[in-house]
Structure formats: C-alpha cells, structure tokens
Amino acid sequence: MREVDPKTTNRAKAFDLWMRSPMPMVTMTKTYDITRLRRLAKRKGLKLNMLMCYAIGRAASAFAEFYLLPVGSKLMRFDHLAINTIVKTTTGDINTCDIPFSEGIHTFAEDYLRLTSQAAASGEDLNLGEDYMVIGTSALTKCELDSVVNLYAGFYNNPFVVWGKYRKGLFRTTLPISFQFHHTQMDGPISTAFLNRLQEVFDEIEL
C-alpha cells in the first residue's frame, strides 16, 4: 500500500467531490443466474461460497479502480487484491478471514480452505495486512434477501458484496447480490461494468 496523489489518477475529481461527503457509499443490487456455478460446486464437491469469492476477485481484478481506496484522508494504491469472508468458529462465533486473490482457481481454492480452517480453529480474525485491497463479503444464506444496504462506519471504505439464500427454480438458480462501494473509488460506469463482468465470470469458470 502506498499513498498516491489523486491528481495523478483518474479519480481526482471524485476525490474532491466525495471525500467530504457525509455519506459517500453507493449500493447497487443485481440478480444473477448462478445455475452453472451451483452445478459446478455440486459436481466437483466444492464450496459455493469459495466459488463466489473467487468470481468476485476475478471480476474485480480487471478494473484498475479496485486497486485504489480512500483510507482516512488519503488515496492509497495497492498491488494485490484479497477477498474477505465470514467464518463460523468451532465455538459458534464468527471471524473474518482474508483470502489472497489468485488468478488460478486451484491456488485460490487451496488458500481458501487452508485459511478459513485456520480462522475457524484459532477463534481469531485472519487479516493479510496492508499490502492487500480487501473486498468484503457476507453470505447470509438462511434467508432469501432482495437487497442489503450496509452501514457506513467512516473508517471501513472497502467495497462490500452481500448475498442471501439462492432461489432454485425449475430451470434456473438465481441470486440477488448487493454491491456497496465508496464513490471516491469508482463511478457508475465502472461499478456497473464490474457487475456485468461478474455474470460473465459465473458463466465461464472452468476447473
């Protein structure tokens, strides 16, 4: 992580506009077809949550804006992405766990299983540190949710992706996904391009 002058980036105008905003977060919701992803998870014996996290990282990695993030009053640039997931511990509590994004799905899957198991057993959050721009996720799979609007804490500006229980129809499985981001980090065209790219990744993942 290193500080950058906003004027040297394509976020200069957004930095001036939104860093002073009392509510700079934007939430978008899109319903996805995850039929192929769910079948892939079942056929290969994989965790659907792992595939979701991988797809989010793969879609985000195509956009330079995901490597920039307002931290405090500064704009920071990162070299790496990570996906944060919620892990249930052996005592029934929950911890957060950062998974470094790897383009190779097998590497990501191995890291996911190793690190989430470690977080569950240790009873402590597992954070990768300041070298990673972390995309938060939360899977609330006990309830069919249409949308989630997260609170704005003022100190956690990271993008956040939330979903509930998928909806299995006769021919399709669908899932509404909420995406929250800081307006300094990206505008509508990039955020919607990411959301569109996410569906493409769901449809093209191969093992």
- Provide the residue ranges of all domains of the chain, joining segments of one domain with +: 2-12+27-204
**Rounded CA separation 106/110 (Å):** 6
Q: What is the pLDDT of residue 97?
A: 97
Q: What is the pLDDT of residue 13?
A: 96
DSSP assignment letter at 8: G
Torsion of CA 90, 91, 93, 98, to 10 degrees: -30
Asked if residue 19 lies in contact with residue 176, where contact means CB atoms within 8 angstroms, the answer is: no
Q: What is the pLDDT of residue 29?
A: 98
Q: What is the pLDDT of residue 116?
A: 96
pLDDT by residue for the chain (207 residues), tens only, comes to: 999 999 999 999 999 999 989 999 999 999 999 999 999 999 999 999 999 999 999 999 999 999 999 999 999 999 999 999 999 988 889 999 999 999 999 999 999 999 999 999 998 999 998 899 999 999 999 999 999 998 888 889 999 999 999 999 999 999 999 999 999 999 999 999 999 999 999 999 988
Helices (H), 87-206: 105-122, 188-204
2-12+27-204 CATH pick, 2.40.50.140, 3.30.559.10, 2.60.40.10, 1.20.140.10:
3.30.559.10
Asked if residue 165 lies in contact with residue 141, where contact means CB atoms within 8 angstroms, the answer is: yes
Q: What is the pLDDT of residue 169?
A: 92
Q: What is the pLDDT of residue 193?
A: 98
Q: What is the pLDDT of residue 148?
A: 94
Displacement of CA 160 from its chain's centroid (Å): 5
**Rounded CA separation 122/80 (Å):** 25
